[in-house]
Amino acid sequence: MTKAPHWIVRVDDRLVHGQVCVGWCDVLGIHRLVLGDDVIAACEFERELYACCPADEQSLEFMTLSQLAAALAVPPAETTLAVLSDPASAETLLELGAPLSELLLGGLHHQPGARELANYLFLTSEQAACLRRLSARGVHLVGQPLPDSPRLDVNRLV
Partner 1 sequence: MNLLRALLITHGELGAALLATAEEIIGPREGLAALSNRGLSRDGLVAELRARLAELPAEDALLLLVDAPGASPHVAARLLLAGLTGEERGRVLGPLTGVNLPLLLTFLNRRTTTPPEELLPLLVERGRAGILM
Percentages helix, strand, coil for the chain (3-state, rounded to 5) are 35, 25, 40
List, as one string, the DSSP characters of 104-120: EEEEB---TTPEEEETT
Query: Do 10 and 82 touch, CB atoms closer than 8 A?
Result: yes
Q: Decide if residue 42 touches partner 1 (CB under 8 A).
A: no
Distance CA 96, CA 125 (A): 24
Stretch that binds partner 1, among 11-19, 66-74, 131-139, 141-149 (CB under 8 A): 11-19
Stretch that binds partner 1, among 72-80, 88-96, 102-110, 134-142 (CB under 8 A): 102-110
CA distances from 18 to 13, 146, 157 (A): 13, 11, 27
Stretch that binds partner 1, among 46-54, 70-78, 131-139, 142-150 (CB under 8 A): 46-54
Query: Do 100 and 139 touch, CB atoms closer than 8 A?
Result: yes
Minimum separation from the CB atom of position 73 to partner 1 (A): 29
Binder of partner 1 out of 2, 4, 45, 136 (CB under 8 A): 45
Q: Decide if residue 49 touches partner 1 (CB under 8 A).
A: yes
- AA identity, residue 64: T
Binder of partner 1 out of 8, 9, 11, 15 (CB under 8 A): 15
Of 55 and 73, which has the nearer Cβ to partner 1? 55
Residues that bind partner 1 (CB under 8 A): 13-18, 21, 45, 49-54, 107-111, 119
